[in-house]
Amino acid sequence: MFLMLMMHKLSERLARVKFTNRSMSCWGTNEKAIISILGHRNAAQRKQIRLAYSELFQEDLVKRLESELNGDFEKAVYRWVLDPEDRDAVLANVAIRKSGDYHVIVEIACVLSSEELLAVRRAYHARYKHSLEEDLAAHTTGDIRKLLVGLVTAFRYEGDEINTRLTNSEADILHDAIKDKAFNHEDVIRILTTRSKAQLMATFNRYRDDHGSSITKDLLDEPADEFKTVLRTAIRCLNDHKKYYEKILRNAIKKGWDR
């Protein structure tokens, strides 16, 4: 019974792979067919399709897609087919080379788990022969460099334990720094780049409870500059990345464009 099930799954996979190949042959690329095959598969299934395609046609599916597609659709499909850590490595490299485009770096560093972030750094090194932090440091300066390099090299504790004493003291440290407009204070960077997400969430909640407004609102009330924008994005992603992405998607749909 197990053998029959495995043979059935293998035949289904090969059928999808052959259909993918036909979708890119002869009469141009059938974008709807590619979406129907790849758009409804999870990362593990996409990886299996890519491996089967290589075995069946002695060709890398990613390279074939690059040659057949173009524009935004090519970028979307190409990145979708990559393994998640490899895709994030590509996105990080593109963001680094686009001057001032730091939100992708912050999202990768602050949303992923410590193990996932480490996997991205390994994938980046394998693909580009440089470390992520090395390239990031080469394309940034000053306080932004300190914050971003600190975020991408962080290996945070993933447990739920909270140190209440730290929560209280560090909420005050953050509040005093914002009140004094010392946004780049070394303690601010230290707290955001070393504390666990659970600890930071507790600190941000204590900040709001003790001082009557959220830390992100207090930062928003200050005149905008590049460092404060990066700082606020990091705090939003560390505190509640689902809410952060919900707002990004809502604004993108409302405005009719994506970031």
Per the annotation, where are the binding residues?
A: 28, 68, 253, 255
Please enumerate in sequence order all residues whose Cβ is within 8 A of that of 230, keeping only pairs 6 or more positions apart, or say none: 102, 103, 106, 144, 147, 148
User: Is 109 within 8 Å of 151 (Cβ atoms)?
Assistant: yes
Q: Which amino acid appears at position 61 of this protein?
A: L
The binding site for Ca(2+) comprises 28, 68, 253, 255
User: Is 99 within 8 Å of 140 (Cβ atoms)?
Assistant: no
User: Is 231 within 8 Å of 147 (Cβ atoms)?
Assistant: yes
Measured distance CA(92)–CA(95) in Å, rounded = 5
Beta-carbon-side half-sphere exposure of residue 156 (alpha carbons within 13 Å): 27
Q: Which two tokens stand for residue 195?
A: 């504390």
Please enumerate in sequence order all residues whose Cβ is within 8 A of that of 205, keeping only pairs 6 or more positions apart, or say none: none
User: Is 178 within 8 Å of 218 (Cβ atoms)?
Assistant: yes
Measured distance CA(145)–CA(98) in Å, rounded = 15
DSSP symbols for 116-157: HHHHHHHHHHHHHSS-HHHHHHHT--HHHHHHHHHHHT----
Count how many residues are written for the chain. Answer: 259
Measured distance CA(7)–CA(1) in Å, rounded = 10
